[in-house]
């Protein structure tokens, strides 16, 4: 590399750095402001103490947890089964998993409103009529594209057929084969899928706000009208949490593969 290209690289990196880090740095400063002047951590402590914000934080964390569990329960056995016994369905499963990238969340909301009476009936039936946890069913759909790619990568990396045949020939049933033989081998893929799903759910605003539920992002927007520093602190916290999750993931899978999360359509 010539000296001129190296200088150009440094200049460009600095410019990009300023563009991307300035808003984050400004958010940090803004969140530390006190109304009268001076600094305080009040906005940050509000995340775990504010009457309106803290319950929403809990709702979003709960949603993230339930969505991850449901997503794994739905996707892992299906993807393993498709590879082992039903390869004819592979294209269809992939298509359905990646479909949410093409159908914007906004469209799903509009459609759900139309069949809402039916959905509330279903949710009331399983005892989730009023709870924001009802959102979990749609959030699982939103996480599918990312989760599918993460799981697909790690399933491709192992010799699934041989593992399953070995387990089966030693007398394991399908449940034991999946939970005790395959799952321990695709642990890293399940972890990536879960981390990305957490990031998706914690950042979700569109569906919650239009369906009238109060999750973290909805309350952040509500607070933005009255208490700027607190809403900026909470939104910075979600970005930082997402960043840490993905960085840990990338360092944990160091060298094994490139961690690339494909394009999203929000």
Segment 94-153, which members bind other proteins (CB under 8 A)?
Answer: 96, 99-115, 122, 137-138, 140-141
Residues 246-265 that bind other proteins (CB under 8 A): 246-247, 249-251, 254-255, 258-265
Q: Compare residues 166 and 264 and give the one whose CB is closer to other proteins.
A: 264
CB of 8 to other proteins, least distance (A): 10
**Contact indicator for 55, 213 with CB cutoff of 8 Å:** no
Helix (H, G, I), strand (E, B) or coil at 236: helix
The per-residue DSSP string of 126-171 comes to TT-SSSGGGGHHHHHHHHHHHHHHHHHHHHHTS-HHHHHHHHHHTT
Residue from 46, 149, 200, 227 touching other proteins (CB under 8 A): that is: 200
**CA of 29: how far to CAs of 23, 40, 44, 139, 224, in Å?**
10, 10, 12, 32, 16
Work out whether 89 is an interface residue with other proteins (CB under 8 A).
yes
Work out whether 72 is an interface residue with other proteins (CB under 8 A).
no
Work out whether 199 is an interface residue with other proteins (CB under 8 A).
yes
Question: By CB under 8 A, which span of 52-60, 123-131, 156-164, 236-244 interacts with other proteins?
Answer: 236-244
The 3-state secondary structure of 161-208 reads: HHHHHHHHHCCCCHHHHHHHHHHHHCHHHHHHHHHHHHHHHHCCCHHH
CA angle, 83 then 67 then 54, to 5°: 160
DSSP 226: T
Work out whether 4 is an interface residue with other proteins (CB under 8 A).
no
Residue from 39, 49, 180, 243 touching other proteins (CB under 8 A): that is: 243
Work out whether 215 is an interface residue with other proteins (CB under 8 A).
no
Work out whether 11 is an interface residue with other proteins (CB under 8 A).
no
Q: Compare residues 20 and 187 and give the one whose CB is closer to other proteins.
A: 20
Residue from 16, 39, 91, 161 touching other proteins (CB under 8 A): that is: 16
């Amino acid at each position: 590399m010539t000296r001129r290209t190296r200088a150009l690289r440094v200049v460009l990196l600095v410019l990009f750095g300023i563009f991307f880090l300035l808003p984050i740095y400004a958010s940090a400063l803004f969140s530390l402001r006190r109304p009268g002047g001076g600094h305080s951590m009040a906005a940050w402590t509000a995340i775990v103490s504010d009457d309106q914000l803290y319950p929403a934080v809990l709702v979003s964390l709960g949603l993230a947890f339930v969505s991850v569990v449901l997503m794994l329960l739905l996707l892992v056995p299906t993807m393993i089964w498709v590879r082992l016994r039903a390869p004819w369905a592979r294209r269809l499963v992939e298509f359905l998993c990646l479909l949410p990238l093409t159908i914007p969340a906004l469209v799903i909301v509009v459609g759900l409103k139309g069949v809402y009476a039916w959905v509330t009936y279903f949710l009331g039936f399983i005892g989730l009529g009023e709870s924001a946890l009802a959102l979990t069913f749609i959030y699982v759909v939103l996480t599918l594209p990312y989760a599918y790619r993460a799981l697909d990568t790690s399933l491709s990396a192992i010799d699934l057929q041989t593992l399953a045949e070995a387990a089966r020939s030693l007398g394991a049933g399908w449940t034991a084969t999946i939970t005790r033989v395959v799952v321990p081998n695709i642990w890293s893929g399940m972890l990536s899928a879960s981390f990305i799903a957490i990031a998706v759910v914690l950042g979700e605003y569109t569906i919650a706000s239009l369906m009238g539920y109060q999750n973290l992002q909805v309350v952040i927007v509500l607070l933005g009208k009255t208490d700027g520093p607190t809403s900026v602190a909470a939104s910075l916290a979600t970005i930082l949490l997402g960043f840490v999750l993905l960085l840990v993931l990338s360092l944990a899978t160091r060298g094994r593969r490139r961690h690339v999360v494909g394009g999203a359509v929000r």
